[in-house]
């Protein structure tokens, strides 16, 4: 009897997986100050609202496509069905590269943040790469086991993160700070450099798009995946919208940009200690570290499912599609992700790259652009697939909204992609780095298109 993946994940399990990858407490503590700083305004709530709208439009087609995609290849499978096998394989190659880069970037940044926290508590310095190595081992062990274990770990971490964000929000409300409506002003949102603000607001959602990679482990994928997708986008969007407004109110609308420029890493942590209690600042610092760990685990699981699907389709060695007889998990694919992550971290460390200014900046910037490219292709893949379908009149009428929404979402994603490419040097730390990473991304896409496929 052929061993298959266990189908135990319900909507909550998948939601925990993908929102954990978005790392809410890290976005609130680290991303919000960046949005204020790079945009030069306090229009973050409207930027979050625009990002949410684009991603909801994207989700309409993404969710509708679920019954028409038989495996867990997510972007790869969607583009394959809609735009053809060659573009699908190119997308698969970009997916592997992008999510591996995001996994490594979070691994190294986690090593630094955990090391800083350990030094703060004990006075002892531990090399970042040693902590990163420990994290790779723990994540590798969790990824090797049944998906239920990862879902439980991510669920606990995510609940703590969300509770902490809500506590900060309530603390601001209880502090009596002025709740200004300036952040909801369109003129404020478009002042400064709104493109960069929108881009970083958009990046705060990363991870939600991976709902479809868990379809082989979902109890009822045709219902579970769409519901989890919508819940993830709406929940994250609502949390960021309210929290960005209240963080601005806590800092003061007139001071938020300047304070964020002065201390982007500590301004929200300091706010938490001020409006709640001094110990809350310490709690937020700890949760940022656990949030990064959860994000690392979530990305590890995403790459694992891509490798598994590519093995199933004979694009990569069939052995990658092996299911562990005891854990009913894609353990072999997970083991390879652990090895690849470890090798890239070791090579990066031996090259003496700075774990934050170079590894995190370069890898996460390149990975982010890769994900935006895949989402854009997936939107237009839905439109193309719909155009080829021949259904009855009722089906065509019901699905016309899918085409309109996917097209609108695709146009929105093209806008975000243009902003990302225009600001690519900023994302990866310079023009030369942007050129190199642009060539790498294009090269991986081209190589992917040439991969053999028996299906």
CA 417 to chain CA centroid, nearest Å: 16
How far from each other are the two terminal CA atoms of the chain, in whole angstroms?
Answer: 23
- Reading the block at residue 65, the tokens are 């496509």
The ranges assigned to domains in the chain are 11-449
Q: What is the distance between the alpha carbons of residues 393 and 399, in angstroms, rounded to a whole number?
A: 10
> Residue 453: what pLDDT?
66
Among 209, 228, 260, 225, which Cα is nearest to 38's?
A: 260
Q: What is the distance between the alpha carbons of residues 310 and 400, in angstroms, rounded to a whole number?
A: 32
Q: What is the distance between the alpha carbons of residues 69 and 78, in angstroms, rounded to a whole number?
A: 7
Q: What is the distance between the alpha carbons of residues 324 and 63, in angstroms, rounded to a whole number?
A: 29
Cβ-count burial 199-234 (b if 16+ within 10 Å, e if not)? bbbbbbbbbbbbbbbbbbbbeebeebbbbbbbbbbe
How many Cβ atoms sit within 10 Å of the Cβ of residue 413?
Answer: 25
- Reading the block at residue 390, the tokens are 């021949």
> Residue 3: what pLDDT?
58
Please list the ranges in the chain whose pLDDT falls under 50: 1, 393-394
Q: What is the distance between the alpha carbons of residues 79 and 2, in angstroms, rounded to a whole number?
A: 29
Task: Please report how the helices 194-203 and 32-39 are oriented relative to each other, as an axis angle in degrees rounded to 10.
Answer: 160
Nearest-5° angle of CA 99, CA 101, CA 107? 105
Q: What is the distance between the alpha carbons of residues 386 and 86, in angstroms, rounded to a whole number?
A: 19
Task: Give residues with Cβ within 8 angstroms of 156, minimum separation 6.
Answer: none
Q: How deeply is 449 buried, as exposed, middle or buried, from its count of CB atoms within 10 A (0-12, 13-18, 19+)? A: middle
Task: Please report how the helices 278-312 and 128-144 are oriented relative to each other, as an axis angle in degrees rounded to 10.
Answer: 50
Q: What is the distance between the alpha carbons of residues 3 and 1, in angstroms, rounded to a whole number?
A: 6
Task: Give residues with Cβ within 8 angstroms of 167, minimum separation 6.
Answer: 276, 280
Q: What is the distance between the alpha carbons of residues 337 and 322, in angstroms, rounded to a whole number?
A: 14
Asked if 15 and 154 count as a contact pair (C-beta separation under 8 A), the reply is no
Q: What is the distance between the alpha carbons of residues 372 and 199, in angstroms, rounded to a whole number?
A: 10
Q: What is the distance between the alpha carbons of residues 221 and 211, in angstroms, rounded to a whole number?
A: 10
Q: What is the distance between the alpha carbons of residues 219 and 19, in angstroms, rounded to a whole number?
A: 19
Q: What is the distance between the alpha carbons of residues 429 and 446, in angstroms, rounded to a whole number?
A: 25
Helix ranges (H only) for 176-255 are 186-189, 194-203, 221-251
Residue 414's Cβ-side half-sphere holds a number of Cα atoms within 13 Å equal to: 9
CATH architecture of 11-449: Up-down Bundle (1.20)
Residue with tokens 């353990």: 331
Q: What is the distance between the alpha carbons of residues 290 and 283, in angstroms, rounded to a whole number?
A: 11
Q: pTM of the prediction?
A: 0.89
Asked if 294 and 158 count as a contact pair (C-beta separation under 8 A), the reply is yes
């Amino acid at each position: 009897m052929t061993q298959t993946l266990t189908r135990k994940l319900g909507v909550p399990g998948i939601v925990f997986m993908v929102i954990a990858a978005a790392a809410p407490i890290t976005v609130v503590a680290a991303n919000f100050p960046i949005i204020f700083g790079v945009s030069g305004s306090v229009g973050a709530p409207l930027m979050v609202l625009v990002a949410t709208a684009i991603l909801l439009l994207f989700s309409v087609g993404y969710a509708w496509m679920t019954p028409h995609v038989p495996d867990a290849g997510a972007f790869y499978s969607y583009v394959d069905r809609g735009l053809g096998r060659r573009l699908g394989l190119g997308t698969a190659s970009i997916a592997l590269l992008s999510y591996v880069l995001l996994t490594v970037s979070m691994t190294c940044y986690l090593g630094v943040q955990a090391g800083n926290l350990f030094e703060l508590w004990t006075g002892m310095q531990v090399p970042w790469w040693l902590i990163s190595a420990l994290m790779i081992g723990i994540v590798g062990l969790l990824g090797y086991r049944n998906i239920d274990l990862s879902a439980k770990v991510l669920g606990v971490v995510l609940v703590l993160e969300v509770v902490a964000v809500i506590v900060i929000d309530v603390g601001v409300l209880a502090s009596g700070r002025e709740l200004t409506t300036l952040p909801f002003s369109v003129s404020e949102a478009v002042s400064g450099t709104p493109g960069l603000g929108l881009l970083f607001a958009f990046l705060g959602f990363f991870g939600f798009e991976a709902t479809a990679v868990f379809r082989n482990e979902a109890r009822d994928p045709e219902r579970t995946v769409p519901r989890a997708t919508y819940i993830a986008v709406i929940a994250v969007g609502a949390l960021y919208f309210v929290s960005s407004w209240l963080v601005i109110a806590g800092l003061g609308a007139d001071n938020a940009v300047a304070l964020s420029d002065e201390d982007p890493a500590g301004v929200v942590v300091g706010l938490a200690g001020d409006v709640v209690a001094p110990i809350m600042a310490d709690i937020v610092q700890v949760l940022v570290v656990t949030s990064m760990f959860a994000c690392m685990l979530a990305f590890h699981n995403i790459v694992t499912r891509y490798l598994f699907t590519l093995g199933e389709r004979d694009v990569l060695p069939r052995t990658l599609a092996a299911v562990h007889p005891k854990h009913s998990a894609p353990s072999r694919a997970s083991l390879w992700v652990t090895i690849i992550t470890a090798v890239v971290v070791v090579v990066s460390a031996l090259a003496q790259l700075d774990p934050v200014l170079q590894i995190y900046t370069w890898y996460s910037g390149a990975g982010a652009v890769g994900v935006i490219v895949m989402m854009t292709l997936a939107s237009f893949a839905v439109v193309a697939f719909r155009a080829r379908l021949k259904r009855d009149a009722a089906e065509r009428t019901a699905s016309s909204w899918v085409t309109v929404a996917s097209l609108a979402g695709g146009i929105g994603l093209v806008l975000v992609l243009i902003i990302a490419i225009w600001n690519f040097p900023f994302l990866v730390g310079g023009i030369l780095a942007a050129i190199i990473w642009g060539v790498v991304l294009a090269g991986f896409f081209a190589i992917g298109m040439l991969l053999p496929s028996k299906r």
